[in-house]
Amino acid sequence: MDPQPQAGKASLQRSRALPQPGEGPPPAPRLGAVGWVRQNLFSTWYNGVLTVVCVWLLYAAGTRVLAWVFATAQWTVVRVNLRLFLAGRYPQDQTWRIWAVVLFVAGLGVASWAAWNAARRHPAAAWFRRRLPLAWFLSFPVVVWLVRGGAGLPVVDTSLWSGLLLTLLLAVVGIVGSFPLGILLALGRRSSLPAVRALSILYIETVRGVPLITILFMAQVMFPVFMPEGVRPDRVLRAMAGLVLFTSAYMAENVRGGLQAVPRGQVEAAMALGLKSHLVVLLIVLPQALRAVIPAIVGQFISLFKDTSLVAIVGLSDLTGIARSILAQPQFLGRYAEVYLFVALVYWIFSYSMSLASRRLERQLGVGER
């Protein structure tokens, strides 16, 4: 199915005879709309049949979906509960703090993007770019302070953290926590110290052998049993810990794949320059290893983001949990389709953004790869 057979031939001929100065690129074959349709959709009789069937199916399904979305569905349930979906039971009069967090993070994101792109031209941008990791690291306590309160702001108890807010907090903490832990576990698994290696393998294989939901249950139900009377760590915190511990095992295996892809010669060259072994790992091995596994890591993050919905089962009101409680409102009984479609859309928007960001990152870091 080559849509442009002429182009292929032309470039072949061009490579045989070197182009003369002034000779332009081969002319693009002019096909036109009718030609394109004939070549791509009706090139043979069975392609023609397939095209007709597919168009009919798309039409039949599409019209029904559109009819349902715009006529049958009653989106009041989403419209009325929008705040509940997004901020959950976060106190109404403190909502500005969530907006402040959104603005703060968005501002930092835009500033990072600008600095990343302008670093070549402006020394100030280059200076900021070098400090980006630090800036993001420091932004974390700021966000926690804004959401949780304390130090001048009224404290909002974690039991009130819910909706999309809780989902995002769980995901961010899970990502930020599991990434370094996963790297350490991956390095541990390749360590030359037998004890470190054995412990890493034991941890990774144990955690990978059980479902996330059991770990979350364990954190919520079993953990307090083992604690002394009166000590009850925060439930949200326990869920976060469960997610981090679970994801870091998978992260470790992803990173290990990247570590194995770095040729031995790289380590030798770095050692031959007199670099100490921690610098060899930090400056030479990890940058190459992580770059090689960006797709796998981002896939892991996306799957973690969606897995946070499991905390609804252990009684936390994340986006999915809130959806269930909204469905229990008497005036919206039975509005499953609308509610879950909306929830799915929200998950999709965030997952797809991560996917887009990862592709951009790959392209940016791909400069000069072998």
Partner 1 sequence: MQRVASPPDGPIADKKPDEVPGRKPMIVAENVHKWFGGFHVLRGISLTVHLGEVVVIMGPSGSGKSTFIRTVNALEDYHRGRIVVDGIELTHDLKNIEAVRSEVGMVFQQFNLFPHLTALQNVTLAPVWVRRWPRKRAEQVAMELLERVGIPEQAHKYPGQLSGGQQQRVAIARALAMQPKMMLFDEPTSALDPEMIKEVLDVMRNLAASGMTMVVVSHEVGFAREVADRIVLMDSGVLVEEGTPTEFFQNPKEERTRRFLAQIL
Residues that bind partner 1 (CB under 8 A): 263, 265-266, 268-276, 279, 283-284, 287-288, 291, 365, 367-370
Report, in Å, the least distance between residue 272 CB and partner 1: 4
Q: Which residue lies nearer to partner 1 by CB, 50 or 283?
A: 283
What's the CA gap between 165 and 157, in Å, rounded? Answer: 13
CA 131 vs CA 12, 112, 115, 176, 259: distances in Å: 49, 10, 10, 17, 26
Q: Which residue lies nearer to partner 1 by CB, 168 or 259?
A: 259
Q: Which residue lies nearer to partner 1 by CB, 230 or 265?
A: 265
- Secondary structure (DSSP) of 64-75: HHHHIIIII--T
Report, in Å, the least distance between residue 265 CB and partner 1: 4
- SS3 percent helix, strand, coil of the chain, rounded to 5, is 80, 0, 20
Q: Which residue lies nearer to partner 1 by CB, 30 or 120?
A: 120
Report, in Å, the least distance between residue 129 CB and partner 1: 15
What's the CA gap between 250 and 257, in Å, rounded? Answer: 11
Q: Which residue lies nearer to partner 1 by CB, 270 or 312?
A: 270
Report, in Å, the least distance between residue 367 CB and partner 1: 7
Buried b (16+ CB within 10 A) or exposed e, 20-36: eeeeeebeeeeeeeeee
Report, in Å, the least distance between residue 260 CB and partner 1: 16
Report, in Å, the least distance between residue 253 CB and partner 1: 22
CA atoms within 13 A on the CB side of 16: 6
Report, in Å, the least distance between residue 269 CB and partner 1: 4
What's the CA gap between 116 and 125, in Å, rounded? Answer: 7
3-state secondary structure of 318: strand
Q: Which residue lies nearer to partner 1 by CB, 271 or 296?
A: 271
Angle, helices 235-261 vs 163-189, to 10°: value is 40
Q: Which residue lies nearer to partner 1 by CB, 141 or 265?
A: 265
